Amino acid sequence: MLSEDEAWAAVRLPTADTWPGLSADEREYRAQVLDAIARRIAADGIRVSVPSPDRGSQFMAFAALKGYDDVIAEVEESAASACRQE
């Protein structure tokens, strides 16, 4: 796994000093949040987002629901007619 310093560098985390004009309390809070993020990255690794075409596959379980296709078609038609009216 990554060290915390490597985690900071890997994802280019900002520092609390990135935002000028913060109160000392707010700067400390942001530093704690950023440190927690760096620790999570060091422990678990960098998370990569799922590519857009693959994201929809998580909803395929709903396709087994009775009437799902009809509801989707109805929503699509409603959206299309709303666009035509504008």
62-72 pLDDT per residue, tens: 767 788 888 88
Model confidence, pTM = 0.49
> How far, CA to CA in Å, does 18 sit from each of 13, 15, 38, 63?
10, 5, 16, 46
Q: Please state, in angstroms and rounded to a whole number, the distance separating the CA atoms of residues 35 and 15.
A: 9
Separation between Cα atoms, residue 59 and residue 70, nearest integer Å = 16
Alpha helices in the chain (DSSP H): 4-11, 24-44, 52-55, 68-85
Q: How many CB atoms lie within 10 A of CB 8?
A: 19
Q: Break the chain into its structural domains and give their ranges.
A: 4-44, 57-85
> Above 90 in pLDDT, residue 11?
no
Average pLDDT over residues 32-46: 86
